[in-house]
């Protein structure tokens, strides 16, 4: 039997990964910046929802007479998040404009915060040799993962927190809705890419490296926010470097850092391979003696080596943005 929800999930995830790859193309392809910490802005986008949007939604709900379990203290915020999220979702189901407003506000905040953090974390080494930026950004995902696990108030540490459904007024077809929203975000980023690059060309030499990092990081951060609203749960484990950094980078190695058409095909092929692994995981596990997740990691490493040997592409390649 065909699992329709699985294919809808795969479609939404495809658009999200494509948008992340577009942000990476802006930083690596146009900016020629050796930045590798791409899971950081996704993490910031996700924690924008958990640290800010959830609390705003709680406040609005209580102001309108909804009785929530205690959530002010850090422990209560995590322990009671599932019940409170359900109560607030029911409230937002009767307030569609408020839900849409919270969603749009979260996207804007995620763009700004992720862009600022991406720029700020790389700024100290922007004028040094490219290898310094590569080394620094390579360590950033581990550093920010440690911070996010240490401060429970950000995203619930290891336990995570539940997110109120800002689209609770949509009573059916939620998977289709997020597929459409993810596609619209990807389309908007692609349409605005040319205009952004022309603007950046006009500002060449006037802090353009920092601006490229800000815009590229902001684009990627929006996806972390969208991903959190899609799954209604935020935890650090959802934003690891392998999923949001190395797999998209593999897609760029095969596609190059310029043409949208090649990137679209590359993202589709790599994501199709990953979805086949997920869909057939119960069959695959019978042929290997280790977890499927390890198999996926080994496959990523082999494909990355193969792509680098064949195409000899890496951040700073000679492909031109078009």
Residue by residue, pLDDT tens for the chain (322 residues) are 557 788 888 899 999 999 999 888 888 877 777 888 889 999 999 999 999 999 999 999 999 999 999 998 888 889 999 999 999 999 999 999 999 999 999 999 999 999 999 888 888 777 777 778 888 888 888 888 888 888 888 888 888 999 999 999 998 888 899 999 999 999 888 887 767 766 766 665 556 778 888 989 999 999 999 999 999 999 998 998 888 989 998 888 888 776 678 888 999 999 998 888 888 888 888 888 888 888 888 888 899 888 888 876 554 444 444 4
pLDDT confidence of residue 219: 93
Tally: H helices and E strands in the chain? 15, 2
Q: How far is CA 50 from CA 38, 54, 57, 257, in A?
A: 19, 6, 11, 33
pLDDT confidence of residue 202: 66
pLDDT confidence of residue 321: 42
Contacts 24+ apart (CB under 8 A), 11-14: 11/179, 11/182, 11/183, 12/175, 12/178, 12/179, 12/181, 12/182, 12/230, 13/182, 13/271, 14/267, 14/268, 14/271
Domain ranges of the chain: 4-241
Residue-averaged pLDDT of the chain = 85
Alpha-carbon distance of 193 to 26, in angstroms, equals 8
pLDDT confidence of residue 74: 84
pLDDT confidence of residue 101: 95
Neighbour tally for 32: CB within 10 Å: 15
* Residue located via tokens 């603007």: 199
pLDDT confidence of residue 322: 42
């Amino acid at each position: 039997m065909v699992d329709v929800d699985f294919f809808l999930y795969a479609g939404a995830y495809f658009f999200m990964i494509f948008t992340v790859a577009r942000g990476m193309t802006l930083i690596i392809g146009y900016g020629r910046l050796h930045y590798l910490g791409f899971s950081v802005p996704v993490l910031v986008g996700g924690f924008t929802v958990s640290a800010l949007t959830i609390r705003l939604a709680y406040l609005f709900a209580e102001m309108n007479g909804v009785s929530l379990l205690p959530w002010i203290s850090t422990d209560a915020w995590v322990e009671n998040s599932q019940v409170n999220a359900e109560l607030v979702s029911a409230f937002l189901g009767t307030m569609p404009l408020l839900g849409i407003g919270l969603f749009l506000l979260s996207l804007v905040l995620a763009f700004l915060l992720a862009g600022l953090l991406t720029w700020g974390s790389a700024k100290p080494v922007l004028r040094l040799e490219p290898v310094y930026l590569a080394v620094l950004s390579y360590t950033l995902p581990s550093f920010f993962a440690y911070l996010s696990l240490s401060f429970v108030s950000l995203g619930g540490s290891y336990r995570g927190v539940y997110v109120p459904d800002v689209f609770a007024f949509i009573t059916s077809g939620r998977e289709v809705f997020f597929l459409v929203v993810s596609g619209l975000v990807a389309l908007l980023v692609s349409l605005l890419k040319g205009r952004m690059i022309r603007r950046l060309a006009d500002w060449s030499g006037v802090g353009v490296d920092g601006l490229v990092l800000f815009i590229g990081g902001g684009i990627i951060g929006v996806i972390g926010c969208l991903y959190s609203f899609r799954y209604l749960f935020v935890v650090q484990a959802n934003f690891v470097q392998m999923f949001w950094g190395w797999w998209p980078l593999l897609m760029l190695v095969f596609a190059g850092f310029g043409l949208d058409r090649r990137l679209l095909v590359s993202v589709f092929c790599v994501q199709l391979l990953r979805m086949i692994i997920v869909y057939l995981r119960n069959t695959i596990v019978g042929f290997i003696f280790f977890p499927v997740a390890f198999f996926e990691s080994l496959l990523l490493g082999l494909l990355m080596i193969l792509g680098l040997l064949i195409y000899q592409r890496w951040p700073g390649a000679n492909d031109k943005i078009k």
